Structures are given as structure tokens and as C-alpha cells.
Amino acid sequence: MSRTDATSYPKITPEVIASHGFKGDEYDRLLGILGREPTFLELGIFSVMWSEHCSYKSSRYWLRQLPTSGPKVIQGPGENAGVVDLGDGDCAVFKMESHNHPSFIEPYQGAATGVGGILRDVFTMGARPIANLNALRFGDPAHPKTRHLVSGVVAGIGGYGNCVGVPTVGGETNFDPGYNGNILVNAMCVGLARSDKIFYSAAKGVGLSVVYVGSKTGRDGIHGATMASAESDDSIEEKRPTVQVGDPFTEKLLIEACLELMASDAIIAIQDMGAAGLTSSTSEMADKGGVGIELDLDHVLFFFKQKTAYEMMLSESQERMLMILKPGSEAAGEAVFRKWGLDFAIIGKTTDTGRMIVKHKGKVEADLPVDKLANSAPLYQRPWVPTDPPKTILAEWVPAAASLTGTLEAMMSGPHLASRRWIYEQYDHMVMGQTIGRPGGDAAVVRLPGAKKAIAASCDVTPRYCLADPVMGTKQAVVETWRNLTAVGADPIAITDNMNFGNPERPEIMGQFVGSVEGMGEACRALGYPVVSGNVSLYNETNGKGIPPTPAIGGVGLVPDWTKTADIKLKYDGHLLILIGHEEGHLGQSLYQLHVTGKNEGAPPPVDLEDEIKAGNLVRALIREEKVSAVHDVSDGGLLVAVAEMALAGNRGAELFPYEGKLPPHAVWFGEDQGRYVLAAAPSTAEEIAERARLLGLAVRIIGRTGGDAIQLKGEAPLSLAQLRKGHAAWLPEYMSGKRNS
């Protein structure tokens, strides 16, 4: 069939080409593939498919170096989400994804549709979503936009997740001036499926129905993928129409309808219409299945009249799926979706041509080779320069605190360590009735219905570490999630990642990315903790100012018996507090250093992967043997902060014993040395725990005893929990109400 140009479209000019995001010789590359000038629709199609957001053209080369397989990996990167084996025919399906640019432009809808998109990635695979998490980065609290952005993003996450009925069980929220011009909203979802009922996106077979289900197509989100693949400037507000608008109630219906049809034998392939909408879903499904695909857009259901093929193919309207059904299953499929009040339309068929043909009103508006569309995006090995690791800061170079407990109170009453309760109380974390590890601890824990098993999940990264040393900082992010899972008694299985960076065309930014991949790979290989899914978000900068490198890591683990888990709460008086892990007093890049000097300088604390494995194995064993009453890993703020968090969680004080080593007191109590856990145990078992640690070559010290209503440290005035809690709990509500500005 011959191609016919749509005369109503603009003429293709250099300006039009540039506005579609083509750079350098990319348009010439397109002309070489087609052997002709593209139609306006074809230009748009290649624009989104070659965008950084869809093609990973700056990152694919490096991502291939990550470990992605393992004994429990069922599906690694390359599908909508990763899948890992939980035993007994159960599997976990999970992924993390970004919605940074839309959330900065329109915080409520940007964050809400980020939640909706990650949910679809999971249930597209045949899994019922059981847990949401999020990792949020905002700018300086004093920045005029920060409060508005926090309010909108949190409301969007809660508004969508709560309505869908999937619990939001964990996450993290950070404030840093580096995000003033570009916030980060990373959403993670974990689902549960049967291992023999996983659904994939390959459209295998010829003459099969291509079915559109879900919501109608609108004009929202057009060129959303292209927008997310470019730097921003002061005109960013003008990009508001590129932000999608979500409907969580439709999403809930879509989940139930898809899972119901999946329980039958009707679906050959299924794909979420996410970034690039119909364009990416059709081309990717056809390419994976080795077939062509022919679409008749006259059958697409849309909100507005006079919709063009360009709008329909590039719209990123939410709550839509594309399915390939088995012959004869169309009527049954339609009955399911109509029952749930959703649209169902056959919009095309698979062919043996290897081409994607798009027809509208009797005209062929696009005729493209599927393999070239899906696989011909440029693959760049961009110039990069490594980040020079800074020198280690000695503890004595950082000023000592006049009062250790006074400093503790001040740090925990500020933006970096204050309670995030104001945020997570806006999320329903108990819906579905399976959540046993709630927000505020090391990792969330969700039971598998009708089983003793549970899934644990955590997400983490410390951007100030990554900015100083991307290799070590990312290595730390991986092991931090590994420790968080360990601290609740879970066996860490695998990770998903969200690689958030600035403009990769700048060698120093590309160097951060390369270093981050190196650190992630090293940690994952050592821990047996592979990468099974993820997302790359580049060009996170405004007016040439990039964000700190932020490789967010989402970890998933298995709890064999949910009755044998741990949390951070101090539960009993008279239990001893045991510190496992080496004490070296690292204050470089620490929150203490930032608090007393206003700067972050020096090298981040190093990670010893062998010690991490030994300590983690020991802690998990102690939890399952029920020898410990509380567990918490030591991270931001150091040892004194970890103890204080345990005390506040259990509403029980602690007397801390004097340190008798050579380190300065402020380094002992606020140093952010890695690989450490604080355990609470009965006196009768404390020495056994210490001896088991020593036999493994791990440092161990009994640091205190639980009891009372204060944090007590020799030579310091007791810090009552009531006083500590007042400041810790107040900062965020007061900030959001306008009572304070920083």
C-alpha cells in the first residue's frame, strides 16, 4: 500500500526537526533508514522512540555491564518489570520508575501518574500489586517552590495510591539545594503472581487482533517522553500540556479487568501504553514477536473530536493497555472489559510484513520497518571523565560538638532527620490488610495471603555520597537496601534501580553515570543481588544546573516466616544494646559535618563488602533464632541517631556506656561508618551474640542498656524522649503549615 501524506500537518523544516528533539546527524540517520523524507507522523514516531526516555541511547552500553541473572531470577531487564522466584510457585514482580519532569511542572498529576504508570508495569506482567514505595528529592526548604512541590507530590501519590487500593508502605524523602531546579519523584511497585502465569509483551502470531482497552485517548502527555529527555529552562511551565492526567478509579477497574482476563487463556501478549503511548506499545510488541502490525486509528476511542493520527499515536493518556488476543477470544475479552465499565476496541491486526502501518480516515500516515523503529535508535558512548575521589577527612578535622545530646536534638529536629510522619500518614499503608512492617522502619514487610512468607522492600540512596564519589556512593546505596532488608529478617533477592542524573552530553555528568554503574555492579555481584529492572532518567537539570547524581536503589527480599521478623522498636527494659561492625569515625560527607560546618567535604565512608555479607548473615540468623528484640542499621547521622530512632519508635529510653577507644566522641557517635547494626537483646544472650560476631572477625561492642524515658550519655545532661520527640515530630508539619521556612 502506498504512503499518503496528511496535508494538514506542518511542513517538515529544520525548526520542526529540532523541535522534535533530533540532534546532530540523527535526522540524517532517519533519512538513511527510510530512504525518503518522513511524514509528519513518522517524524513524531521516531522522535519519541529515539528520545532518551524511550531508547536509553546514552546509557544502554553501560547498563549491559550490570549483573542481571541469578538462581531466583525469572525475568530480568527487558520486560515491563523484573520477576523473582519466592518458592512454592509464587513470584514477586517489581520495578522502579521516574516521573521527575512532569512532577516538577505539575506536582499533583505528575506524581499521581507516576504511581499509575508503575502499577501498570507490574500488573501488565500478571501480578496483583501489593505494595508501593517512593523516593522523593526536593530542594532547599527555604526555596520558594519547595513547599508547593512537596504538598502537590505527596497529595498526588496519596490521592492515586489510596484510591486504587494498593498500600504505600515505605520510601524516603530528602531535601537538598541540588534539587532546587529539578525535583525527583521515583515510584516503586511490588506485585505478587504465580510463576506459571507471567505475561509478556511479545506479539507472536500473524492475523491476530490488536486490542485497545481501558480509558479513552486524550491530548494529554503528547511528547511527554521527548520532554523528559531534555534539559529545562525558565520556560518549563509552558510544557504543562505534556503532563498526563490520571484517574485512579479507572486504574482500579483496569487492574481487575486485566487480572480477570489473565485468569483465562485468551491473552497472547499485553503491554502498558506508557511513554510514547500507542507508538511504543505497538512497535515494541511487534518487534519482540517478530511480526508486523497494522493499525486503523478510526477505531481508537478518544475524548475529543477531530483528533489527528499524530495526537492518537503520541498521546500518553493514562489507564490504557494494548493486548494481542488468541483467535476467537475477542468476544469473551470484550465481555470482561465491558463488565468493568471499560472501553474495548479492536484497532488492528498482526501481519507478516515486518512493518508498522498506521491508517487514518482511509490514508496511510505511517509505513515503517518495525525492527528499525524498535532497534535503530542511536547508541552513544559519550565522552566521559571520571570523578576524582576526594581525600578522606580525619575526624579531628571536624569541629567537636559542645554537647553530644544537644547536637542530636538539633539534627533530629531539622529537615534531614525529622520525622516523615506528615508524609506517610497521607498514604494508606494498611489497605489489603497484609502490611506488617509499616513506614518509619528499615524496610516494609507485606505478607503473602494465606502463607507464612512475606515480601520485604526498601529503597535508598545517599546523593551526597554519590556526588563526592559515584562509585563508592552507589555501592553504598546497594548495600544500604541490603542492610535494610536484613534488619527486618529478609533474605535480599534482587534490586531495581532508578538512575537519575543530569545532562549526559557533559563529560563530567556521564562520568558520574559510568562510575555509578561500576559501583552498582561491584556491589550486586559480591552480594548475589542482581538487577532485574530499572529506569534511567537523564537531563535532570534546569538552566545548566544538574542534580546531584541520584542512583536510587529499590531492594526486594523474602521473609521465610513473617512471625520471625524484627523492627527498630526498643520493647523491653534492661535489654543490652549491641553494636556490630567496625567503628572508624568517618565524618566525611556526614550529616554531622553538614550540621557543624555547613559543608559536605571529603570522601564518603568506604564499604567493605565481605564484612557486609558476614554481618548480614549473622543478623538474619539471630532474628530467626529470636535472639534479638530490635534491630536497626546505622546510616544517616551515625550511631547516636540510630539509637535515638529506636528509642522514639519504642518509647523507651537508653543509657549509653562510655566509649573507651581512641576515636573522638563526636566521631564515635555521629560517624557514618558502614556495615553496622544496633541490636537489642536480653542480657542472657548478649554475650553469645558478641562471641558469634567475634568468631566471624566482626567488631562488636555492647554500647548501652534500655530503660527509662531519656537518652543518657555520661557527661551529658539526659535528653528526655518527650523533648526529643517534640522537635523531631514538629519540623515537617510546621514547615508545611508555613510556621517555619527552613
Catalytic residues: 53, 99
Amino acid at 263: A
The three-class DSSP label of residue 452 is coil
Specify whether the backbone of 574 is left (phi greater than 0), alpha (psi in -120 to 50) or beta: left
- Rounded Cα distance, 281 and 372, in Å: 15
- In angstroms, what CA-CA distances link 193 with 29, 94, 143, 189, 497? 42, 11, 44, 13, 21
**Consecutive H or E run containing 457:** strand 454-460
Q: Are strands 267-272 and 184-194 parallel, antiparallel or unpaired?
A: unpaired
Which residues are registered as beta bridge partners of 720? 710
- 74, 372, 224, 360 alpha-carbon torsion, rounded to 10°: -110
* Closest-CA residue to 587 (of 666, 480, 701, 658): 666
Amino acid at 634: V
- 642, 643, 645, 648 alpha-carbon torsion, rounded to 10°: 180
**Consecutive H or E run containing 532:** strand 531-537
Query: Three cell numbers at 613?
Result: 555479607
Q: How many Å separate Cα 408 from the centre of its chain?
A: 30
- Rounded Cα distance, 499 and 553, in Å: 8
SS (H, E, C) 75-142: ECECECCEEEEEECCEEEEEEEEECHHHHHHCHHHHHHHHHHHHHHHHHCCCCEEEEEEEEEEECCCC
- Rounded Cα distance, 144 and 161, in Å: 28
The three-class DSSP label of residue 479 is helix
Q: Other C-beta atoms within 10 Å of 164: how many?
A: 24
Query: Three cell numbers at 368?
Result: 515503517
- Interhelix angle 639-650/721-736, rounded to 10 degrees, is 90
- Rounded Cα distance, 594 and 415, in Å: 12
- Rounded Cα distance, 591 and 416, in Å: 8
The three-class DSSP label of residue 525 is helix
Q: How many residues does the chain have?
A: 742
- Rounded Cα distance, 461 and 342, in Å: 39
- Rounded Cα distance, 123 and 129, in Å: 6
Amino acid at 379: L
- In angstroms, what CA-CA distances link 669 with 21, 565, 584, 592, 666? 51, 27, 11, 10, 5
Q: Other C-beta atoms within 10 Å of 484: how many?
A: 27
CB burial readout 297-306, b (16+ within 10 A) else e: beebbbeeee
Burial of 346 (0-12, 13-18, 19+ CB in 10 A): middle
- In angstroms, what CA-CA distances link 97 with 72, 134, 135, 494, 516? 22, 9, 10, 16, 17
